[in-house]
Structure 1
Amino acid sequence: MYILKKEPERWHEWLCTFSLHRNTRLLTVAPGGLPCLHGIRALSVLWIIMLHSSLQLRHHSVNEKDISENVSSEQRYLGVAAGHLAVDSFFVLSGLLLVYTSAGKTESLSLRNLPRFYLIRYVRLFPLLAAAVLLRAAEPRVTDGPTAVDRAQEPVRCRKYWWSALLHVQNIVNPREMCLGHSWYLSVDMQLYVVSALLLCAAGRRVWPALGAAALASTAAALAFCFYYNFHDTTSDLPRNWSLESTTVYWTWYYYNPIVRSPPFFIGMLLGYSLYILKTEKLHLPKWSIWLCYSGALMLSLLVMLADHPGMRAFFHEHQAARNAKLALYRSCWALALGWLIFACTQGYGGPVNWFLSLGLWRYVARVSYAMYLFSNILQEEPDATGGVNYYDMHTLLWRFSGDAAAAVVLSTALIVLVEAPLHTLLAPLLKPRTTQKS
């Protein structure tokens, strides 16, 4: 009785962490910052969901032969197939926001306060990732069907390697048996976050040369890595004597590798520092240079997306050197094109593009995008696990995508309110800086 009378406010505060009314208000996004980033983040996660919808729809399609002969060569499906570039967009945004939000603190950033710097990032990602791992590990108890045996392989891996997913090392420790295969992005992002913080800590006031050297060094490392291993791009680009081992090498050694994924991240860091320097002023550019940059960005983005066209794949199949250069550089080209778009929008040269990306409807999707990325793939695999056949065409794909996206938004909202917001509140005392008493 004494304890309850002594600390009623603490009990009330603890119970309020689970208040639906309070946690729902945390879903609102405050105005300001860089509004165009909301649209880019929202469209990127929707692009990834569409790609996964396409892959799941083709999994049990009755027109697989028609897909292989006709659908893959049609121009309208190239945009869907290039959805993997949205992950590189996330790397650009991650590097940008890392520098843009902490550029003013680089002088005070030291080895002493790096653990707290990392802890803040880890706690931010932990609640929803832990919930996704737990859900995936318990999946055989949730669903069943004709193909549930195949789907049960990943839950088994989650029970065995859950720790590698939560520690963001699964792309290095167990790349062939990852828990939540699509969460490889979080592992690579955390690893690049650790390296970039060390880079900023060592740079001090020399941020420009440090970031420029990092971007060039990462690009050179990606080139050397790809030319050394001579990767084959996709299963449609494999030689006649291909084997399952060759596709596994591509995914484990190239696709999940932080070396080849780092250039977009460091390009985003360079962009973030540029925007931080120009936060209070506008860079005046002549019209011809603006149009030239827009034309170059458009050409780069189109070339990157057309690299998956069957005609281009045939060219890369015949020329290994060209394929190596493509695998090493086309993600950097995409990052440069996206970087110019962001720079133009923030400096007042975006026009209707900035208006579209800054629309209020993107704010909410961007707010729940992290949860959508984690849980949308789990939702999309449930219909296949319970059986059924599909017919793959654009109309069916759009219908499937709209349902997947809507379900992902609803589930993400519920998980943020019920899981992320309460845990962030409970873990907040760990993130408070320690205060030293003056003698």
Structure 2
Amino acid sequence: MNLSVVLLLLVLIQVNGYLHLDWEVRNQALNQSLYEDVLDSEECQKQIAILRDNTFLLSLFLDAGIRLPRGLLAGNTVDLGNYHQCLEINTTLHNTNIEGKYCMIRVPLNQELSLQPISSIQFSNFDPFSLHLDEDTITKINNYKLKRAGIKALFGADLNEIRSGPGNPLEFSVLRLAVCIPKPCTTEEAISGLLFNITSLGFQYEDDFCRLPDDKPWVPADFTAFGIFSLIGFLTFLSTYYELNHIFGRKRDPKSANQILCMFSIYSNTKRLLTFKSSPGALECIDGVRALAMIWVLLGHSFSSQPFTYNAIESFQWILSYEGLWITSAHITVDTFFMLSGLLVVYTTAGKLTSVGLLKNIHVFYLNRLLRMFPILATTALLEASVFNRISDGPVWDTIVSQTHRCRTFWWSTLLHLQNYLNSENVCIGATWYLAIDVQLHLLSPLVLVWVLSGNKKIAWSALSAGVVLSLSAATVYNFIKEFPTGMITAERGDEMMYYMVYYYMNTLTRAPPFLVGMVFGYLLHTYRGKPVYISTILNLILWALSLSLLLTVCYCTYPTMQPGWDNQTVDSLINSFMRPAWALGLGWIIFACVNGYGGPINWLLSLNLWKLPARLSYAMYILHFSLMVIFNSSNTAPIYFTVSYIIFLFYGFFVLTFIVAIFVTVFIDIPFSILFKLLLDKVKGQGKESTKSVDDRDLFKSAPVLNSHTNRRVSNNNGVQKFD
């Protein structure tokens, strides 16, 4: 099919082709029926009467419950009370078991409470019972909420928070307050019985949610998860015992051990992970690029994942300032991965595979891509659907509950890499929108790759040029048709965040140009592979200056569009169309220069052995890191006070935690199943006997993958037919 026809179809699909699936969670993460079953109005009144006569017990409830948020005038609209103190209340008085129930309510900011005047009391000008704030403060709080939600979506956070914003007029003008009440009571019964009469006072609020101890029911997802992980643990124990006994007990050659029986061995898999073998033509600098890009992603998410801050307005002002530009521009780093993916697809096939060979082995080309990504992706989806919901708890655990529900419902679209079109507003694992697009681009890449592998340079360059021009043209037309804002963080168009995220940010067409620019540089690197490249000092300096200037311009270009008063749709559409391929272009020169000896100290930095292990773990870290951050932040019992130094301190902790978890997941799951998939594919191709003897570690960890080991490398079989490993 002609490439231009494919791109035209893509434009039409992007404009009209999204599906929004209705969904209902069959197995709730929290026992909703429990909250209804415990309600008993008569028992509630009895317990309220007991509390009125017991000052200490009443103080436990009140101390864990409702109060105005600290830092209200600084933008904090949340008070989380004392979650654990409330749920730990469990005592028996007068033959009545009194237990605490933690609830969250939403109170509109602007309401005047009707108070009966008490002549004996002289009130000051400040009315503590009035929740009315001046319009300027409310505007600042509303703007902060919009921008904060935008940043969270930009870095892959919970999209439900954004959807609940513009669609709910009360979302950005309410206080979220915790109340601790007796178990059989509703919030209205408890507040009226223990504090004040809601009806006579005119106090308006809405119930958000309630929590009770042991309110997480065991469902099939839990049994499945613990069953699978227990089986993997058992296989790991047996496999490790077999290999250690073979090597150290029987004193035999490690190479003579049965490869299948050693598949889950911690001993050999750890050695594979920590052993780095140099291979000819390896692009050493890419390890540094990939590792630094991953660090930037984690750093950006460390800032964006914080649920509540005491000084919200101050943090919002920092976000819009020059000082925050290195965080607000971090979204562009994802295009680094798209560029590298395109580069390596060409570089690892050109010269080693013909067009005919690609077409004959297209099923292997696709299967390797899909199967190598599957183990960690499926593991994380299973963790999200079960284990992560059980390892902790907290007053804002509803974020984890929402994530659990999405994975229990839409796990299949995640594994099929279709979630950016089928359920883009309810993605199971937030960060996997990137994987979906990357797989989709990989599946489409043979449309260009088959011409690149023709052996004719003119045809190859024509195909690559046509791919870049057509993809960029199609993306530009699409951007001008849809009229997106420049980014998630815009002072004037905060209500378009979900629209931008679904139809632009997670869109295959708008991400195709950097991928195709990467393919161009992949072919350029292949063309000069093993050949000297001569660039004069002056030209080298000019190209470096242009490249770095281009990268800095891309980072800066969205800054003016974030500011109040910005209104230029033409510039917005141009920035959306060209900033991502421009980033790929600037990065492509850096890689080309480093590979060919013109990188100087930058090449030295990017090629350090320091980056090899983080680069090898980058796929696991990318998939897991945000879930770990959200678990930690959802366990917090109070808002944080935002400072840059504090968030950076958290980043170090998140990085170390993610790094350690990634090692465990890689050793226990990724490497064993990668070996299994390789052996199965070799059996399909009639090579099973040879493959069971040993598996080359370089076939598991390629020298220059995009995220971990997800770029295929070719070796020749005995028949001379090119294959992908």
Percent of pairs with identical residues:
34
Which one of 82, 105, 110 corresponds to residue 329 of structure 2?
82
Q: Residues 268-326 of structure 1, C-alpha deviation per residue, up to 9 Å, x if partnerless?
A: 111011111111112101222111111111111111111232x3434993211001000
Are 1:426 and 2:692 an aligned pair?
no
Are 1:224 and 2:477 an aligned pair?
yes
| Separation (CA, whole Å) in 1 of partners of 2:538 and 2:489 | 41
Q: Is the Cα contact below 8 Å between 1:222 and 1:328 reproduced in 2? A: yes
**Which amino acid in structure 1 is aligned with residue 556 of structure 2?**
L
Compared CA separation, residues 75 and 106, structure 1 to 2 (3 A): farther
Which one of 133, 144, 157 corresponds to residue 381 of structure 2?
133
Q: Is the Cα contact below 8 Å between 1:317 and 1:323 reproduced in 2? A: no
| Separation (CA, whole Å) in 2 of partners of 1:212 and 1:30 | 35
| Separation (CA, whole Å) in 2 of partners of 1:30 and 1:250 | 43
Q: For residue 238 of structure 1, report the CA deviation from its aligned partner.
A: 5.6
| Separation (CA, whole Å) in 1 of partners of 2:521 and 2:259 | 41
| Separation (CA, whole Å) in 2 of partners of 1:313 and 1:65 | 16
Are 1:39 and 2:288 an aligned pair?
yes
Aligned residue in 2 for 1:3: none
Q: Is the Cα contact below 8 Å between 2:298 and 2:655 reproduced in 1? A: yes
Are 1:118 and 2:366 an aligned pair?
yes
| Separation (CA, whole Å) in 1 of partners of 2:521 and 2:385 | 39
Q: Residues 177-232 of structure 1, C-alpha deviation per residue, up to 9 Å, x if partnerless?
A: 11101110000000000111232125533322111110111111111111010012
Aligned residue in 1 for 2:661: 411
| Separation (CA, whole Å) in 1 of partners of 2:575 and 2:562 | 11
Q: Is the Cα contact below 8 Å between 1:51 and 1:80 reproduced in 2? A: yes
**Which amino acid in structure 2 is aligned with residue 389 of structure 1?**
P
Q: Residues 322-342 of structure 1, C-alpha deviation per residue, up to 9 Å, x if partnerless?
A: 010001110111111100100
Aligned residue in 1 for 2:467: 214
Are 1:91 and 2:338 an aligned pair?
yes
Q: Is the Cα contact below 8 Å between 1:128 and 1:371 reproduced in 2? A: yes
Compared CA separation, residues 40 and 83, structure 1 to 2 (3 A): same
Compared CA separation, residues 131 and 329, structure 1 to 2 (3 A): same
Q: Is the Cα contact below 8 Å between 1:89 and 1:338 reproduced in 2? A: yes
Residues 143-154 of structure 1 correspond to what in structure 2 (within 5 A)? 143-154=392-403
| Separation (CA, whole Å) in 1 of partners of 2:276 and 2:574 | 40
| Separation (CA, whole Å) in 2 of partners of 1:179 and 1:12 | 38
Q: Is the Cα contact below 8 Å between 1:100 and 1:272 reproduced in 2? A: yes
Which one of 47, 66, 83 corresponds to residue 314 of structure 2?
66
Compared CA separation, residues 315 and 74, structure 1 to 2 (3 A): closer
Are 1:263 and 2:516 an aligned pair?
no
Larger mean CA deviation between 264-273 and 103-112 belongs to 103-112
Q: For residue 172 of structure 1, report the CA deviation from its aligned partner.
A: 1.2
**Which amino acid in structure 1 is aligned with residue 645 of structure 2?**
H
Q: Is the Cα contact below 8 Å between 1:298 and 1:337 reproduced in 2? A: yes
Q: For residue 22 of structure 1, report the CA deviation from its aligned partner.
A: 0.5
Q: Is the Cα contact below 8 Å between 2:492 and 2:565 reproduced in 1? A: no
Q: For residue 97 of structure 1, report the CA deviation from its aligned partner.
A: 1.0
| Separation (CA, whole Å) in 2 of partners of 1:420 and 1:316 | 49
| Separation (CA, whole Å) in 1 of partners of 2:357 and 2:258 | 36
Aligned residue in 1 for 2:132: none
Q: Is the Cα contact below 8 Å between 1:109 and 1:201 reproduced in 2? A: no
| Separation (CA, whole Å) in 1 of partners of 2:285 and 2:663 | 22
**Which amino acid in structure 1 is aligned with residue 553 of structure 2?**
L
* Structure 1 unpaired stretches of 5+: 1-7
**SS of residue matched to 1:94:** helix
Compared CA separation, residues 145 and 111, structure 1 to 2 (3 A): same
What TM-score does the superposition give when structure 2 sets the normalisation length?
0.56
| Separation (CA, whole Å) in 1 of partners of 2:446 and 2:403 | 33
Q: Is the Cα contact below 8 Å between 2:355 and 2:451 reproduced in 1? A: no
Higher relative contact order (CA 8 A, sep 6+): 1
Which one of 359, 367, 382 corresponds to residue 616 of structure 2?
367
**Which amino acid in structure 1 is aligned with residue 652 of structure 2?**
S
Aligned residue in 2 for 1:325: 574
Compared CA separation, residues 417 and 31, structure 1 to 2 (3 A): same
Q: Residues 372-393 of structure 1, C-alpha deviation per residue, up to 9 Å, x if partnerless?
A: 0000111111122112321222
Aligned residue in 2 for 1:187: 436
Q: For residue 66 of structure 1, report the CA deviation from its aligned partner.
A: 0.5
| Separation (CA, whole Å) in 2 of partners of 1:176 and 1:41 | 28
Which one of 269, 273, 278 corresponds to residue 23 of structure 1?
269
* Structure of higher CA gyration radius: 2
Report the structure, 1 or 2, having the larger helix content: 1
What TM-score does the superposition give when structure 1 sets the normalisation length?
0.92
**SS of residue matched to 2:259:** helix
| Separation (CA, whole Å) in 1 of partners of 2:673 and 2:492 | 50
Q: Is the Cα contact below 8 Å between 2:491 and 2:563 reproduced in 1? A: no
Q: Is the Cα contact below 8 Å between 1:36 and 1:345 reproduced in 2? A: yes
| Separation (CA, whole Å) in 2 of partners of 1:11 and 1:283 | 46
Q: Is the Cα contact below 8 Å between 1:67 and 1:392 reproduced in 2? A: yes
| Separation (CA, whole Å) in 2 of partners of 1:40 and 1:223 | 28
- Kindly report the root-mean-square deviation, in angstroms, between the aligned alpha carbons of the 2 structures: 2.2
**Which amino acid in structure 2 is aligned with residue 265 of structure 1?**
F
Aligned residue in 2 for 1:356: 605
